[in-house]
Structures are given as structure tokens and as C-alpha cells.
Amino acid sequence: MLNERRVLATTLLGMLCGFISWAICTQGMGLDVLWAHGVLLVLVNCLMGFTIGISSLRYHWMAHGALIGGLFGLVLALFTHSQGLGFWWPLVLGPVFGFVVELGATIVFRASMDAW
């Protein structure tokens, strides 16, 4: 059974990480990011949060968030590299954002993982 509060919290935290990623690209690195690419950054991170929320892998919560974030960071890195937005920043920030989403869900919102 899914924990609805956990899924909602991780999805919203993923969306927040997506907006932070968009801001890092435009403000921090000074890249000219198209609106569609920015929306894609937000949606990929939102999907990462949703995947963390519904996942029931039996890992410690820190490794769980970093692993799923790393997988989504790799996919995002391949996209951003093909669009001229850089390769390393999503590869590094993916596990960091995954960890932050899992930290927020598990510790702050106290929505633990429902493992089978």
C-alpha cells in the first residue's frame, strides 16, 4: 500500500528541486535556457520525486534517494549535453536532489517508505 502523504511530499519536493535546477542554469551559470527546456527540467525532477515516493526498494533512505536521483541525473545529463546546457551539473546534482527529496520526506515530513 502506498503512503499518499509520502508520494505527495516527494513529488512536491522534486518539483522544488526542478525549479532550483532551472534557477541554477539561468541565474547561476548564465545559460540561455528556453522555456520548454526549463519546463522539462522541472518535470524530470518532479518525476524523480514521484519515483522516490512510490519506490519500495529496501535500501537505507539515504542510499535510496541518491541512487534514484543519480539515475534521473544521468538521463538529464544526456539531454542537457545534447542541448548545449552542460553535462556535469545534472550528473552531480541528481544524487544531491534525490538525497534532499528523501531527507525531506523521511525526516521532515515523517513519511516513511512502505516496503513490501
Q: What is the pLDDT of residues 33-79, one digit of tens each?
A: 899 999 999 999 999 999 999 998 888 989 999 999 999 999 999 98
| Position 116 in a domain | no
- Asked whether residue 103 is assigned to any structural domain, the reply reads yes
What range defines the domain where residue 71 resides?
4-108
Burial group, residue 17, by CB count within 10 angstroms (0-12, 13-18, 19+): buried
Contact 85, 31 (CB under 8 A): yes
The number of CA neighbours under 13 Å toward the Cβ of 50 is: 8
**Measured between alpha carbons, how far is 50 from 75 in angstroms, rounded to an integer?**
16
What's the rounded mean pLDDT across residues 6-22?
Answer: 96
Q: What percent of the chain has pLDDT over 70?
A: 97
Q: Is 34 exposed, middle or buried (0-12, 13-18, 19+ CB in 10 A)?
A: exposed
- What pLDDT does residue 116 have? 57
- How many domains, in total, are found in the chain? 1
Specify if 40 maps to a domain: yes
Q: Has residue 115 been placed in a domain? A: no
Residue 113 lies in a domain: no
Classify residue 38: in a domain, yes or no.
Answer: yes
